Amino acid sequence: MSQIFGEIVKVDIKKAWNHEQYDFTPWLADDENITKLAEALGFELEVEDIEVAVGPYSADILAQSSSSNKCVVIENQFGKTNHDHLGKLLTYGAFLDAGVVIWIAETFTEEHQKALDWLNDHTTKDLEFYGVAIELWKIDQSRPAVRFNVISRPNEIVKKASAAKEAADLTEVKQLQLSFWKQFKERLLERKVVASAQTPRPQYWFDVALGKTGVNLSLIVDTHGSRIGIRVYISNKVADQLLEALDKDKQAIEQEIGQSLQWNPSPENRDKIIGLFRNVDLEDTQQWAQYIDWMVEYTDLFLKAFGPRVRYLNLKS
């Protein structure tokens, strides 16, 4: 019987990138590729700069986590992890006041993986350390595919204990927001609208990546205005270009979503939004399932309508 299955083969990453600094780092900083890393980690990343000076050295990538607004430092390394890069990682994180530190390498030694785990277990909840193995795989003679394998991340048990203590100190409104977003995330993943989602926080918004730096979906729970909504949130640096480009496709977008949207309802604001909102009674928790179903449905429709359009726009810097 002839062989009907291909063989999965691991590929040397230098087949794709000759040099870590000049090839891999610029590749990773590209919107499409940083989104792949973000999906593996479970939170959105927005690149701010590469090769950021820290004394006589430079941090490979400086980014921001849109979900937590934390500064993110990414250190890339070809080959096996070593003490030199661990030291640089901590130095860059301290100098740049990072809340999230990500170490990407081909292979993690047991001691370096344990070092990251130890840092996660013995630092505050405001600091997060991640170890990510970069891998290339192919089937027979196919083109290689990239895989980001997260081998170390903050301890969920420790995080939950810290979150439980934090929740006990929250105001009634913050407790409502946190509870709502926990249920929303559960339904969002259950319906497989996205592969991963941010950790719910006691705040009025919940972000979902759109695959482009400077723009994301932002769900809201407005307790003061008694409404919920979903917005394409466009940061000031790309607002004029992006809003103009999307406005040209307004009719098609609204047909795909099945609703008339609010386009830039607050023109005085530097950041721009395109949104859909619904008046609700958030104190009536028995209606939450209905509200969450509505938000999940339109998250899916917004992703399908705006995602491809946003990703393939070439924005001038």
Q: What is the pLDDT of residues 53-89, one digit of tens each?
A: 888 889 999 998 876 778 899 999 999 999 999 999 9
Q: Residue 161: what pLDDT?
A: 61
CB atoms within 10 A of CB 268: 5
Greatest CA span in the chain, whole angstroms? 70
Tell me how far apart the alpha carbons of residues 261 and 213 are, in angstroms, rounded to a whole number. Answer: 23
Say which DSSP state 287 is in: G
Q: Residue 164: what pLDDT?
A: 62
User: Which top CATH class is 8-158?
Assistant: alpha beta
pTM above 0.75, yes or no: no
The amino acid at residue 272 is: K
Residue indicated by tokens 């994301």:
216
Query: 2 or 300: whose pLDDT is higher?
Result: 300
CB atoms within 10 A of CB 55: 8
Q: Would you tell me which CATH number, out of the four given (1.10.1330, 3.30.1460, 1.20.1420, 3.40.720), belongs to the domain 170-311?
A: 3.30.1460
Interval 212-234 mean pLDDT: 91
Interval 245-268 mean pLDDT: 93
Q: Is the pLDDT of residue 2 over 60?
A: no
Query: 1 or 16: whose pLDDT is higher?
Result: 16
Domain boundaries, the chain: 8-158, 170-311
**Contact (Cβ atoms closer than 8 angstroms) between residue 32 and residue 308:** no
Nearest CA to 148 among 199, 193, 103, 188?
A: 103
